[in-house]
Every structure is written in C-alpha cells, then in structure tokens.
Amino acid sequence: MIRFTWLQLRAQAAAVAGAIALLAAAAAGLLHRDDAVARLWLGVLVVVAPGLLGMFWGAPLVAREFEDGTFRLAWTQSVTRTRWMAVKLAVGGLASMAAAGLLSLVVTWWAGPLDRAALNQFATFDQRDIAPIGYAAFAFTLGVLAGSLIRRTLPAMFVTLAVFVAVRLAEFTWLRPRLFSPVLLNLALNPGSTGYGQAGTLSVLFSSPTLMPNPPDLPNTWITSMRIVNAHGQVLSTQVLDSACPDIGRGRGGGGGGLGGHSKAPQAVVNTLQDCVAKIGTTYHEALAYQPASHYWPLQWYELAIFLGAAVILAAACLWRVRRP
C-alpha cells in the first residue's frame, strides 16, 4: 500500500523536491544575502507553501478518486479502505511536512544574517524554523478531509484554502499571544514620543483617535498589547481625553515630536499635544505586555504541536469518514 501510494504521488513529489532544490541552489549562489526584497519574498513563499500543499496535494488526493470513480477500483483490491486512507494520510502528510520543513530550513539558513541584524525574530515567526512543518501537516490533512467530505476536487481545494487561512489568522491573532503569559511592563508616558491618532488603517472605522505611545526599544520581542491605563487599570477613554485636552486633534498632523518624519506638524499643534500628554501622564501610564526573546523557541514548539495535534484530529475524521460505507 505504501508503494502504491508512492507510485501515485511520486511525480508531484519529485516536482516539489526539484523546486526546493532549485530554490536552495539559487539562494546559495545567486541571491545576495543582504537582499531585503528577496528576504521578504522568500518569507512569503514559506507562509503560502503549506496552503498550496493542502490545496494541490491534500484536496485532490481523495477527491480525484471520487471524481474519476477510481475509488471503486482502489477499494476493491485486497486492502481495506481504512488502511488505504491511513497510508495515504501518512505518506502524503510526511511528504508535505518534509517539503515545508526543507523549504523553511533553506530560507531560515539563507536569511540568517539579515534576521540577526533585524533583531525582530517574532516578525518572521511563521516563516522560519519548525512552525511551517506543523502548518503543512495541518493543511494537508485538512485537504484530504475536505476531499473526503465534498468528493469534488475544485470545491475541496477552495474550502481547504478558506479554512486554512481562517484557522491560521485565528491562531496567530487570538491563540498565539495567549499561549504564554507575557511579561508586563509599566512606563510613564513620554510627551516627546507620544503621538495622537489611530493604529492601523482599518481601525479608522471602528475606533476614535487616541494617544499613541511609541513602542520602547525591546529587541527581539513581540509586543502583544500596548495600552494607556490609570492606576486602577482603566483604559484612557475618549471622554477623559477630550475633557483634559479639548484642543487636541484640531489642526493638521499628529506626530509626536522628536521622532523625525512627523515633524511637519505646526509647532502650536505639537505643543498642544505635548502639554496634553504631560497632563494625562500625571494619572495615566503606558502598560505593555510582550513575549520576550526567550519565549521564541517554546512558542515555535507549541505552534508545531498545536498544528500537528489538529492534523491528527483531522486524520481521525478522515478515517472515520472512509469507514462509513
């Protein structure tokens, strides 16, 4: 059964292995190791590779058998369909993990000097080291399950992609910051480096502008939350801000002083803002929560374990589905 599965998978596996080898050769020879643009694109490649493996390996693996009717051929050989599914999952899953792991290894090695210089290892957390192996295992089994349930290749591919993206987004925005308790840090508000505005572009729709402290210099950490709170832990509200500084936000510009690049605001506006920050700063402070550099590897292992665990659950669902005649 293993040899049969390999017979079906080997052409694609050879193509993927060839692509990775080519990339490794290119990375070693052609790409200059301080090419920041190449670093960005290689990172993107590592992020999307598991999704592609799920779509193009996982989803068609079983869905195509249903589409072509060949499951009737496969299931009437002398091998039970449970075994058929188990071997397909194992061989394809391991091949996917190997592909994503190798790709991540090549990119992690190539980008090493730039990563060390950037001092921001959490920014490339999903593109380096062992986390991509877990994503690949998860995406692949997700594809197989989608194919088993939907039984048509194209819809199964799109469902795989949609669910994979949704799970990854939910994981890194919601779950990952909560895996380890963060280090908490309280800082006084600095009138020289605190601005006024909204974080991000989308948040314009959901929130009103407030004071924006500039993050402190904490190399290789991941700041998971940054709020302005008073001694009771209450977040600075728009009402409090407006009553303390009625003139804030009038006129153009909002950058804090001393940061450079934002110095185009008229001096009067800057003064108003700095006065305001000083006034607010008497009762409010900046509360930071962050993951220190020492949490990087434990988080990588957790990430791997979580996605491998999810893959095992999905694989069990595939086996359950194929056993139901």
Residues paired with residue 211 on neighbouring β-strands, in sequence order: 196
Q: How far is the CB of 82 from other proteins (least distance, A)?
A: 9
Cβ-based nearer residue to other proteins, 3 or 264: 3
DSSP 8-state symbol, 255: P
Q: Length of the chain in residues, anyone?
A: 325
Contact 104, 128 (CB under 8 A): yes
Cβ-based nearer residue to other proteins, 38 or 95: 95
Give residue 292's Cα distance to chain centre. Answer: 18
How many C-beta atoms lie closer than 10 Å to residue 261's C-beta?
6
DSSP 8-state symbol, 140: H
Give the footprint of other proteins on this chain (CB under 8 A).
1, 3-4, 7-8, 11, 68-70, 72-73, 75-80, 325
How many C-beta atoms lie closer than 10 Å to residue 163's C-beta?
17
Cβ-based nearer residue to other proteins, 58 or 60: 60
Q: How far is the CB of 64 from other proteins (least distance, A)?
A: 9
Cβ-based nearer residue to other proteins, 18 or 113: 18
**3-state SS class at 224:** strand
Cβ-based nearer residue to other proteins, 75 or 172: 75
Q: How far is the CB of 68 from other proteins (least distance, A)?
A: 6
Cβ-based nearer residue to other proteins, 154 or 199: 154
Contact 204, 198 (CB under 8 A): yes
Q: How far is the CB of 60 from other proteins (least distance, A)?
A: 11
Amino acid identity for residue 229 in this structure: V
CA distances from 323 to 53, 160, 162, 318 (A): 25, 22, 26, 9
Cβ-based nearer residue to other proteins, 5 or 121: 5
Q: What is the dihedral of CA 38, 42, 43, 45, to 10 degrees?
A: 140
Q: How far is the CB of 139 from other proteins (least distance, A)?
A: 23
Q: How far is the CB of 93 from other proteins (least distance, A)?
A: 20
SS (H, E, C) 58-125: HHHHHHHHHHHCCHHHHCCCCCCHHHHHHHHHHHHHHHHHHHHHHHHHHHHHHHHHHHHHHCCHHHHH
72, burial (CB in 10 Å: exposed 0-12, middle 13-18, buried 19+): exposed
Q: How far is the CB of 146 from other proteins (least distance, A)?
A: 21
Q: How far is the CB of 87 from other proteins (least distance, A)?
A: 11
Cβ-based nearer residue to other proteins, 82 or 208: 82
